[in-house]
Structure 1
Amino acid sequence: MKERTLTATVEAAGLLRPHAEQVYAGELAALARHDDGMRPPSWRLSPRAVVTYLLGGELADGTVITPKYVGPRRLMEVAVATLATDRALLLLGVPGTAKTWVSEHLAAAVSGDSTLLVQGTSGTAEEAIRYGWNYARLLAEGPSRAALVPSPVMTAMAEGRVARVEELTRIPSDVQDALITILSEKALPVPELRTEVQAVRGFSVIATANDRDRGVNDLSSALRRRFNTVVLPLPASEDEEVDIVTRRVGQLGLTLELPEVPSAAEEIRRVVTVFRELRAGVTADQRTRLKSPTGTLSPAEAISVVTSGIALAAHFGDGVLRAADIAAGITGAIVKDPVSDAGVWTEYLEAVARERPGWADFYRACREVAP
């Protein structure tokens, strides 16, 4: 109840994408009250409680902790244990495997703050990782503490919190290497002031990287050695992936205030089935070989397809999610390259969807919008 009350408060404030520590403040507080485990310095919860927050469970007083990640428990235990040491954590995987989601929730559970974030792009400068300057004050007063603008990483070091670096391999290699001294020496020199910022116990870094980006800006061996790497896989089973998509679609529907639809289960399973078969290059019964499209067709894209379909059904349909509501979305998710992917999708529709019992409506709807 506390979580739902807080969620309603956040949504009433007009926040489109509340932070994890805002949405799940009730769960985090309940875990802290019942947490009798050893907490590393500066941690809000013990490592065991952090894993419970991520994977879900029920507390002694009946409080239900909702799962944030659906997958192997051991992966989350390794990730949390890494943060309890002096090693940084690298979450690696294909797009849509919940790397950013896990990173945010880890930071929220450990530090109570997931906002110390560096978003990696090809234009990310070294100042985003180290520090910058207020140039008006710098020109007026010269180098001083007051003129220094700390990066999220510097702030995390000074306060003993978790800093997040998203899409690390998108950052230019020379900028990536600004992390080497921080991760090895646990200090950030500020030569202009003849001083340094030393990391307070509890400081750590969680970085994410897309393994499809290999060759963009590969990590140097020196930097890679300073991370423990946890590879987040795609969901192992269809039921697991359906569960992930269903949960996230429900959460997004509340945040976006989409009208409830009577049932989206059938169409969610259909989208997941299509994505899994095209990813694997074979149908679920192993009878038909398929070509795979250029995209990853991850759970994140399935969530987007279903959420868009619910919006169509609610605002332009009869309020029931049907094949026609997801047809355009699933076509757009699959056909990223109009030359190669269009043929892959057409072949799937003709060889699989057309012949599959109960899929006639899906076949017709997709053919109507096929490129």
Structure 2
Amino acid sequence: MTMTQERDALLRPHAEQAFAAELTALAAADDRPRPPSWKLSPWAVVTYLLGGTLPDGTVITPKYVGPRRLMEVAVATLATDRALLLIGVPGTAKTWVSEHLSAAVAGHSTLLVQGTSGTAEEAIRYGWNYARLLAEGPSEAALVPSPIMTAMRTGSIARLEELTRIPSDVQDALITVLSEKTLPVPELGTEVQAAKGFNVIATANDRDRGVNELSSALRRRFNTVVLPLPADEDEEVSIVARRVEQLGAALELPAVPAAAEEIRRVVRVFRELRSGITEDGRTKLKSPSGTLSTAEAISVITNGMALAAHFGDGVLRPGDIAGAVLGAVVKDPVADQVVWTEYLEAVVRQRAEWADFYRACREVNG
């Protein structure tokens, strides 16, 4: 089996696998200075993220749609001794950007720590193979390096997801790593010093503020880049359409034509409920408890495409997305149901061109 066949057999390839051809083409065309251990120059990394056309005609697809300056600041941060913190509400592509940054800079995105309330200090520093530890005592062979320790040794990028979900005392294990660029191993009387190219990309959810706030000492070790929601409807529609197409191909869903109208409808519903006002500014709305992010819009459309392809006539229709929209909006079965019902009657019902969508939503609403 070739590398391409292996990649195509994966449900969700890593960024460096899915976009290997683009990364290779960029590396070949990239004649600008590269920081130590970087696979591409900062200019090429930004081009990989935002898209462009190379001199040989190779088209680099956009991975992120948004302000160019944000990506330039993020990439420039990684070229310094400061770590990068990507922050924003759920669904603003923090993890997506983190993965693609790591793939473009280091050539891989797999040195990952997933932050949870149960994340232990070993996930940041190192652990032990206890069978060997008991048999041999502390030794290099018994030590189990964390992804961060591995990144330090190899001069690479480590990713830390959901930093503010990690307990505060565990977060503080990062301070010495980020300030001194060393990781002491007192059991062995040694330390790991970071090779050039080492850095950390962390993500944090805006809605988790107050869960495990970063200490001022740790926050100073990061440059923070806030990823905003898409600026306007057209931008968000473009993002959803591109990702739906990619996911449909990866999941081998049959092609569903004429999805553009339903994509725009879902995006408009989400944006209006998110902002608390209709697009024309005439009607104020209550907002539900959920985030109604771009990522959720992608999920709603992808689910609708599967329904249309496998249980419908192959055309994405309002009935294919109504149930998923309801599920995305109504997280709280009491309060959110009131919000959704009011929106249906006050907004959706009044739009003559949305009559089929209104009927489909009423049917699943019960």
Aligned counterpart in structure 1 of residue 122 of structure 2, from 124, 127, 149: 127
Trace 1:249-264 onto structure 2 (pairs within 5 A).
Answer: 249-264=244-259
Aligned counterpart in structure 1 of residue 8 of structure 2, from 7, 11, 16: 11
**Contact 1:349–1:363 (CA under 8 A) maintained in structure 2:** yes
**Contact 1:35–1:46 (CA under 8 A) maintained in structure 2:** yes
2:183 corresponding residue in structure 1: 188
Counterpart-to-counterpart distance in 2, 1:202 and 1:41: 5
Counterpart-to-counterpart distance in 1, 2:3 and 2:71: 26
Counterpart-to-counterpart distance in 2, 1:6 and 1:216: 42
1:282 corresponding residue in structure 2: 277
Counterpart-to-counterpart distance in 1, 2:155 and 2:286: 49
Q: State the Cα distance separating 1:94 from its structure 2 match.
A: 0.0
**Contact 1:57–1:65 (CA under 8 A) maintained in structure 2:** yes
Aligned counterpart in structure 1 of residue 36 of structure 2, from 32, 41, 59: 41
1:365 paired with 2:360, answer yes
1:89 corresponding residue in structure 2: 84
Which ranges in structure 1 are unaligned for 5 or more consecutive residues?
Answer: none
Aligned counterpart in structure 2 of residue 73 of structure 1, from 45, 62, 68: 68
State the AA in 1 paired with 2:228. P
1:61 paired with 2:37, answer no
> Percent of aligned pairs with the same residue?
81
1:207 paired with 2:169, answer no
Could you state the TM-score of these two structures normalised by the residue count of structure 1? Answer: 0.97
CA-to-partner distance for each residue in 1:50-103, whole Å, 9 max, x for gaps?
Answer: 000000000000000000000000000000000000000000000000000000
Trace 1:326-341 onto structure 2 (pairs within 5 A).
Answer: 326-341=321-336
Matched residue SS, 2:360: helix
1:153 paired with 2:148, answer yes
Aligned counterpart in structure 2 of residue 162 of structure 1, from 148, 154, 157: 157
State the AA in 1 paired with 2:8. E
1:247 corresponding residue in structure 2: 242
Q: State the Cα distance separating 1:205 from its structure 2 match.
A: 0.2
Which ranges in structure 2 are unaligned for 5 or more consecutive residues?
Answer: none
Aligned counterpart in structure 2 of residue 113 of structure 1, from 108, 125, 143: 108
Could you state the TM-score of these two structures normalised by the residue count of structure 2? Answer: 0.99
Counterpart-to-counterpart distance in 2, 1:306 and 1:222: 43
1:178 corresponding residue in structure 2: 173
Runs of 4+ in 1 over 4 A off after TM superposition: 5-9
Q: CA RMSD in A?
A: 0.9
Matched residue SS, 1:260: coil
**Contact 1:10–1:23 (CA under 8 A) maintained in structure 2:** yes
Matched residue SS, 1:118: strand
Matched residue SS, 2:197: coil
Matched residue SS, 2:353: coil
**Contact 1:6–1:25 (CA under 8 A) maintained in structure 2:** no
Counterpart-to-counterpart distance in 1, 2:348 and 2:206: 31
Matched residue SS, 1:209: strand
Matched residue SS, 1:103: helix
1:236 corresponding residue in structure 2: 231
State the AA in 2 paired with 1:343. V
Q: State the Cα distance separating 1:9 from its structure 2 match.
A: 4.3
Matched residue SS, 1:333: helix
State the AA in 1 paired with 2:7. V
1:219 corresponding residue in structure 2: 214
Counterpart-to-counterpart distance in 2, 1:195 and 1:264: 59
1:303 paired with 2:303, answer no
Counterpart-to-counterpart distance in 2, 1:72 and 1:9: 35
Aligned counterpart in structure 2 of residue 316 of structure 1, from 280, 290, 311: 311
CA-to-partner distance for each residue in 1:220-267, whole Å, 9 max, x for gaps?
Answer: 111001000000000001000000000100111111111101121000
- Size of the aligned set, in residue pairs, is 365
Q: State the Cα distance separating 1:16 from its structure 2 match.
A: 1.0
Q: State the Cα distance separating 1:357 from its structure 2 match.
A: 2.5
**Contact 1:7–1:23 (CA under 8 A) maintained in structure 2:** no
State the AA in 2 paired with 1:224. R
State the AA in 2 paired with 1:100. T
Counterpart-to-counterpart distance in 1, 2:5 and 2:283: 47
